[in-house]
Amino acid sequence: MRVLLVEDHPSLADSIVQTLKAAGLTVDVLSDGILADLALTDEDYAMAVLDVGLPRLDGFQVLARLRARGKTLPVLMLTARSDVRDRVHGLNLGADDYLAKPFALSELQARVNALLRRTVLGGERRQRCGPLLYDLDTSRFSLTEQPLILTAREHSVLQALIARPGRVMSKEQLAAKVFGLDEEASAEAIEIYVHRLRRKLEGHAVAIVTFRGLGYLLESRDA
C-alpha cells in the first residue's frame, strides 16, 4: 500500500519513513502543504499521515481541501499542539485519527495499521485468497501456512491484488500503488513482478490471472 507522509521536520520524517517501509508500505514524503495538496489531488494513496504545522498550507487546510474534493482516504494528523480545540477542529474537518508529538513510532505504526485495516481490509486483520494469507499487523504473507518470501516490490504488487480479490487491476493502477513520487512508474516493471509472483504461487490453489487489455486479478482455485 502507498502512503503519503507530510512532515517538515527531516529527522522525524526519516524515522517515520523507515518505520512504515519496514512494515511493507510504499511511502512518499513531502514537507510542504502546497505540494501535499497537489499530490493528494493527482496520486493514488491508501492513506495520509499529515502534520498540522506545515509551510504555505497548514495541515488543516490540506485536509479541508482533500475532503472538499470528496476524497475519503483515511488521514492521521500529527501535531505538536496540546490544545484540545485544535484536535477537535481537525476531527471536525474529517481527520480519522490524531497523534500528539512526541510519540512512539510503534504507536504510530499501530494507528496506521488500524486505519488501513478499517478502510482497506474492511476491518479484518487478515486478508485471504485460497491458501494465500496477508496479515496486516505483521505485514507478512504466508502460503499454505508457510512464510512467503517476497521482495519489497513483489510484496506491494501482491498486497494490492489481495486487497481486491476477484477484481481486475490495470497495470497503471498497480504501478500507482507500487511506485513513489520520486520513481518512474513502469507498466513493464509490473509485468516482471507479476511473472515472479506467478512462479512463487505456482502449484498452489491461488493464481494471478491476466485479462488482456484490462489487467490482473488474484483468484482462488479451491475446489
Range of the domain at 33: 2-119
7 with 111, same domain? yes
CATH assignment of the domain containing 85: 3.40.50.2300
Convert the pLDDT of each residue in 33-59 to its tens digit: 999 999 999 888 889 999 999 999 999
Q: Residue 23 has what pLDDT?
A: 83
110 with 159, same domain? no
**What burial letters (b/e) apply to 98-122, b meaning 16+ CB within 10 Å?**
bbeeeeeeeebbebbbbbbbeebbe
17 with 71, same domain? yes
Q: Residue 19 has what pLDDT?
A: 94
115 with 131, same domain? no
- Reading the block at residue 1, the C-alpha cell is 500500500
Contact 128, 121 (CB under 8 A): no
Convert the pLDDT of each residue in 168-183 to its tens digit: 999 988 888 888 777 7
137 with 72, same domain? no
50 with 112, same domain? yes
At which of 102, 119, 136 does a domain end?
A: 119
What pTM does this model have? 0.74
106 with 155, same domain? no
What is the count of structural domains for the chain? Answer: 2
Q: Residue 223 has what pLDDT?
A: 47
Q: Residue 122 has what pLDDT?
A: 60
